[in-house]
Structure 1
Amino acid sequence: MIGFVIVAGAVFMLMTGGRSTGQAPAPSAVKVPTPGQFPPYRAPRTADGTPDLNGIWQAFVTADIDVQDHDAQAGPRPDMMGAYDAWPGGQGIVEGGEIPYKPEALAKKKENAEKRMVVNITSDPHRHDAGDPELKCYMPGVPRANYMPFPFQIIQTPHVIMMAYEYARALRTIYMENDKTIPQEPPADSWMGWSRGHFEGDTLVVDSKGFVPYSWFDRAGDYHSDALHVVERYTHASPYHIMYEATIEDPNVFTRPWKMSFPLYRRMEKNIQLVDFNCTEFVLDLLYGQYSKKVDK
C-alpha cells in the first residue's frame, strides 16, 4: 500500500509539474526556432511601400575561402605567419554540395587553386588568368562581395539601391525596373556587373550580367566566364536577418545553373558604420615592388 501511495504521488507530481493545485500554471517555454527556418514575417515598408532593406549587413560564413565544404588549412606562408594566416574550416553554401563544372572547367578550377598566389602585373592580356583577385585587392564581383568577411551597407531609394562594401571600397548600383530610362543591357562589362532589380512581395530580386571574366567565387579557385548571369533574392526573414539566395548560370563553365544560399545578419552595434578598408595600399609592394626604384641607404 505504501508503495502504491508513493507511485501515485510521483505520477501526480509529474502531471502537475511539481506544484500544488492552488498554483497558477507555469508559463509555456519559448519555442526555439529551427536553424534556417523563420516564422512568417512582414518587413517594414519604406515611404514608397517597398520592403525596407536599409542597414548594415554581414554574412558569417567561410565561403570566401571555399563556397563548398572545406577543412581548416594552413595559409600560404605558415613558415612566416603561423596560425595568423590559417584558414578556418566551414560548411559550404552551395545547394546540393557540388558545383556542376564541365570537365575542362573543373581542371581550370584546380589549376586556379594551385596558382592562387601568382601575381602578374604586365600588359599581357592573360595576366588575370592566374592568381586570386582578392590577393591583389581587385573588386570582388558578385556574389562574392556578399559573403566576404566584411560588412556592407544597403542604401535604398525608389529608383536605385546602392550597396557599399567595406572591402576595397567596392560599390554596386542596382537600377530598379520601375525606372524606364535605364538601359536593360549592360553598356560595358565590369567587375561588379550590371544589375536590374524589382520586388516580389518581401523579396528583392536582382538580375545581373555584364561581368568581366576575372573575378572568382572564392580562394579555392572557383570561377566563371564573361557569360556569367546571376539572379539574387534578398528576402527579409526577421528584423535582424535577410535570407540570401543566388542562382548562378554560365554555360561556358557549368553544365547547369546552380544555387548558393545563406543568411545575412543586421549589424546591431551602437553607432555601427562601415570602416574604410582601402586594401590598395597593402598590395603596392606585392604588385609593383619589382618596378620601384631601389634607394641605397
Structure 2
Amino acid sequence: MIRTVAALAVVGMVLAGAGQAEAQARRPAAAAYKAPRGPDKVHPDLNGVWQVMNTANWDIEPHAARAALQMRPGPVVPVPAKEVVALGAVGSVPAGLGVVEGGEIPYTAEARKIRDENRQDYLKRDPEVKCYLPGVPRANYMHLPFQIFQSEKAMLIAYEYAGAVRNVLFNDPGPAPVDSWMGQSVGKWEGDTLVVTVTGQLDRTWFDRAGNHHSDQMKVVERWTPVGPNLMRYEATITDPGTFTRPWKMSMNLYKRQGEDARLQQFKCVEFVEELMYGHLRKEPLK
C-alpha cells in the first residue's frame, strides 16, 4: 500500500511538472525569457535545426489511434484498405491531442464533404505520397526537421523533406506574381516574435495526412516566439473564406536539435515515387 501511494505521488509530480512545462511553453511573448540576440544584435537568434514532437502530420485535429489512414467497410467495423493491409502496424495512425485551438477546424459544409472524400481516397490524393512540396504550415510539423538560416538582413528556411525551401522577405514586394507550392513569405518583427505572412500558395497542398485541405485563397500568418532555451512557440492563423467559416489557429512547440545529428540530411523523394507515378508507362510494366 505504501509503495502504491508513493508511486502515485511520483506520477502526480511528473504530471504536474509536465503541466507546468506546457504552461510555460504557452506563455505569451511578454514572458520573462530573453532569447540570445541574432546576427543583427537586435532580434532573437533563430538559427538552428528545429523539429516538432507531435503527431500533427497525421492529423492536426484531436484523434485516437487507428488501424490505417485509409479504411474500408468491414463485416462488423471498418478495416484497413486493401492497399495498406500488408503494412500492418507500420501503416497505422498514432493518437494525438491535435494542434488546432478549439479542437475542430471550422469547415463550410461543402469543404467538410471534400475532406471526408480525401480521407476515403487518401492514397491517391495526399500530395505527400507523391512527394509534392508540403506548403505552409505543414512543412513545419512533418516528421523531418528543418533549418533556419538567419543573417543580419535575410532569412532562409530549408526543409529536409523534398529539399523544400522558402525565403522570408523583409521588404514586402506586393502580391505574389504567381501561386506556388510554398507560397510567398513576408516577415516582420513584433518585439521578440517573428511574424510571417504567407500568401500565394497552390490549393493542392494539405494540412496533414487526414485529408484536411484549403483553397488558393488561404492566407497564413505565422508567429515564431522563443520561449526558452532551445524551445520556440509556433502559431499559425489560417484565413480562407473559400474553405472555412472563420479564421482559426494552430499552435505547437518547436524543439532545437542538439548534438551530432543536428543537421539536415537529404530526402529527395522524387525518385522514390517514380514507379508509383510513372511505372504504368514502362514498355513492359512491372507486375
Give your verdict on TM over 0.5.
Answer: yes
1:23-172 equivalences in 2 (<5 Å):
32=17, 33-38=20-25, 40-48=32-40, 49-75=42-68, 76=70, 77-118=83-124, 131-172=125-166
- Report the alpha carbon displacement of residue 295 of structure 1 after superposing the two structures with TM: 7.7
Structure-1 residue corresponding to 2:277: 287
2:240 counterpart of 1:240: no
2: CA distance, partners of 1:257 / 1:41? 29
- Aligned pair 1:191/2:181, yes or no? yes
- Equivalent in the alignment of 2:9: none
* Matched residue SS, 1:37: helix
C-alpha separation in 1, matches of 2:84 and 2:212: 23
Structure 1 distance, partners of 2:228, 2:98, is 23
Q: Which consecutive aligned stretches of 4+ in structure 1 deviate over 6 angstroms post-superposition? A: none
Distance (whole Å) between structure 1 residues aligned to residue 217 and residue 136 of structure 2: 13
State the Cα RMSD in Å: 1.7
Q: For the Cα contact (< 8 Å) 1:197–1:206, is it kept in 2? A: yes
Is 1:269 equivalent to 2:259 in the alignment? yes
Deviations 1:7-65 (A, max 9, x none): xxxxxxxxxxxxxxxxxxxxxxxx94442324621111123221110000001111111
How many equivalent residue pairs?
A: 250
* Cα distance in 2, alignment partners of residues 295 and 104 from structure 1: 39
Normalising to structure 1: TM-score of the pair? 0.80
2:199, 2:220 within 8 Å by CA — same for their partners in 1?
Answer: yes
Normalising by structure 2, what TM-score?
A: 0.83
Q: Which amino acid aligns with 1:66?
A: D
Instruction: Work out the CA distance in 1 between the residues paired with 2:189 and 2:200.
Output: 21
SS of 2:122's equivalent?
coil
Paired position in structure 1 for 2:196: 206
Identify the residue that residue 25 of structure 1 maps to in structure 2. none
Q: Tell me if structure 1 keeps the 8 A contact 2:205–2:214.
A: yes
DSSP-derived class of the 1:256 partner: coil
2:23 partner amino acid: G
Identity of aligned residues (%): 49
Deviation track 1:163-194 (CA, whole Å, cap 9, x = no partner) reads 100111111111013xxxx5121111101010
Amino acid at match of 1:156: Q
Look at both structures and tell me which one has the larger radius of gyration over its CA atoms: 1
Say whether the 8 Å CA contact 2:279–2:285 is kept in structure 1: no
Question: Counterpart of 2:106 in 1: which secondary structure?
Answer: coil
Tell me which protein shows more helix as a share of its residues. 2
> What SS class does the counterpart of residue 185 from structure 1 fall into?
coil
The residue aligned with 1:223 is 213
3-state SS of paired residue (2:123): coil
Give ranges in structure 2 of 5+ residues lacking alignment. 1-15, 26-30, 71-82
Shift of 1:269: 2.0
| Matched-pair contact (CA < 8 Å) for 1:184–1:196 | no
What's the counterpart of residue 11 of structure 2? none
Q: Cα gap change, 1:34/1:135 in structure 2, threshold over 3 Å: closer, same or farther?
A: same
